[in-house]
Structure 1
Amino acid sequence: MKDFEDRFSELQADMISICMEYIEDRADKVYVYCSSEKGIISANFFYLIDNMYLEPHMVNESMKDGTEAFDITPKRQSMVLRIICEDIQKINTLCKEYERDMPTEMKLIYEVKSGNFKAEYKYDLVYANDDIKTADHIADEWFEEIKNNNL
């Protein structure tokens, strides 16, 4: 029988996998932002491709002449986000089942060439007690931080 860590890791791997599928495995790094606070689940994702940090709707900017463009339709982006959010929900259920704390925030980074995977977790409320910020604000701030510091 699989234990908590195995199932937790599989769900995170699924998030990375769907993001890789979106980019047809042509990214150098994949970044996934997951949030679950007070019943609100949110996700976001972006990439490092050829030294450019790109949000999903901008990935075709990385294309060189003659390279086939990615399908970046809103429908396709929504599909990826829906799958990530479903995985967050499954993690939530898993945490309840094993009586573990559910992270309020997960930042996942996958380096494609090395296969290196890094995850950061928070368990305190990140935005739920903020009058202005939403999960999208936090995800956008992380994108800017990564982009500005070349992480």
Structure 2
Amino acid sequence: MNKVFEDYFSELQTDMVAICLEYVENQAEDIYIYCSYEPEMYAFDVFYKINGQVVLKNNINVAVNDINNAGNKTVFYDTSEERQEAVLDIGLKNLEEIYKKCKEFDREMPTEIKLHYDVKQNSLKGQYRYDLVYSNDDELLPDDIFDLWFEEVEKSNL
């Protein structure tokens, strides 16, 4: 059976989720993945909800609590710059592959992909945009859009 575009698209998004989940050793409640592609610029980033707290990838240890009170040692995640860069590099490669598959199958490439993965429910939801988000703005960058989404999720979590 031949793969169709949706198979590739789904596999690549699933791989993004897998690498982000691996980064937190499967210990997140929710994963929020931001992808952006606007003419010749790719962006990828991720943040998490862990122990009820919405945190950036470099702050995941802040959300780690020893909640079992059984005298077990609190887990600390490797949030080294090298490990963070590895996650981002894999995410960017997946995004570049999505672009290639869009070209190959003559599909429009989303300019923005926001993925929300609910770990407990094993549920992935995506929001896709196809219009330019920041390219026509002299001040906006992909990081600004990511930060706004993080703040929005953080506020809705209070």
TM-score over 0.5 (shorter chain): yes
TM range (shorter): over 0.9
Following superposition of structure 1 onto structure 2, how do residues 41-120 of structure 1 map, counting pairs within 5 Å? Answer: 41-65=42-66, 66-120=73-127
Residue 67 of structure 1 and its aligned partner are, at CA, apart by 1.8
Give the one of 137, 144, 149 matched to 1:130: 137
Give the C-alpha shift of residue 116 in structure 1: 1.1
TM-score (norm 1): 0.98
CA contact (8 A) 2:51 2:64 kept: no
| % identical aligned pairs | 44
Q: Could you tell me whether the CA contact under 8 Å between 2:37 and 2:110 is conserved in 1?
A: yes
Secondary structure of the equivalent of 2:32? strand
Q: Which residue of 2 aligns with 1:36?
A: 37
Aligned-partner Cα distance in 2 for 1:125–1:63: 37
Question: 1:52, 1:64 → 2: CA distance?
Answer: 11
State the structure with more CA Rg: 2
Whichever residue aligns with residue 106 of structure 1, its letter is I
Supply the distance in 2 between the matched residues of 1:143 and 1:35 (Cα, whole angstroms). Answer: 15
Structure 1 runs (4+) deviating above 6 angstroms are: none
Gaps of at least 5 residues in structure 1 are none
Structure 2 CA distance for aligned equivalents of residues 92 and 64 of structure 1: 39
Deviation at 1:112, TM superposition (A): 0.3
Q: CA RMSD in A?
A: 1.0
Amino acid at match of 1:13: T
* TM-score between both structures, scaled by the size of structure 2: 0.93
Q: Deviations over 1:88-132 (max 9, x none)?
A: 000000000000000000000000001111000000000011100
Equivalenced residues, count: 151
1:23: which partner in 2?
24
Measured in 2, the distance between the counterparts of 1:15 and 1:103 equals: 16
Per the TM alignment, residue 150 of structure 1 is displaced from its structure 2 partner at its CA by 2.2
Residue ranges of structure 2 left out of the alignment (5+ in a row): 67-72
Partners of 1:63 and 1:138 lie apart in 2 by 26
C-alpha displacement at 1:68, in angstroms?
A: 1.7
